[in-house]
Amino acid sequence: MAKAVRGATIGLLQSTARLSRTALAERLLEHGLYAGQDKIMLALSVENGQTPSQLAALLGVRPPTITKTINRLTNQGFLEKRLSEDDGRRAYVFLTSEGEQAIRSIEKSVRKTEKAALKGFDKKEQKVLTRLLSKVEANLNGVGFNDADDEIAEADS
């Protein structure tokens, strides 16, 4: 049996991540959205009216990066900023009606990309892959992966 090449797994993860981001970016571009904008929009679809700092922390990016993306999305008509009634120095970001409509396009693009990526996988293989990737993510985030939590999640699905 051939010896596994060191770094082959991380290389495959990097390549797969890059290819999936590229495929999703191409689909998003059809709707006038650029890579990375979808994450902000989806975060606001879950909890509308967050500060740029909250969004940056949630998405794991630096505040200047999030500010630039928010400004671009605002100029595109997908978001609007509103000053806090309590503190005029603080702004909150909200989806506009156009932004809310774009959420469906984003979700459809994500589904199509996932479907293409998982072509030929049965449901069991998809669950195993999701579980393994969740473990990798937990390891890289420096948090433990609890198999009990995984079993609860599987029971809920």
* Intervals of CATH 1.10.10.10 along the chain: 25-117
Q: What angle do CA 117, 29, 50 make, to 5 degrees?
A: 95
Q: How far is CA 35 from CA 48, 49, 116, 154, in A?
A: 20, 21, 18, 30
95 three-state secondary structure: strand
Q: Is CATH 3.40.50.1400 what the domain over 25-117 is classified as, yes or no?
A: no
Cβ 50 vs Cβ 95: under 8 Å:
no
User: Tell me, what's the pLDDT at 112?
Assistant: 96
Return the DSSP state at 7: T
Element (H, E) at 93: strand 91-95
State pLDDT tens for residues 3-43.
Answer: 666 778 899 999 999 999 999 999 999 999 998 899 999 99
Q: What is the pTM of this model?
A: 0.78
What does the pLDDT look like over 76-100, one tens digit per residue?
999 999 998 888 788 999 999 999 9
Mapped onto helix, strand or coil, the DSSP state of residue 57 is helix
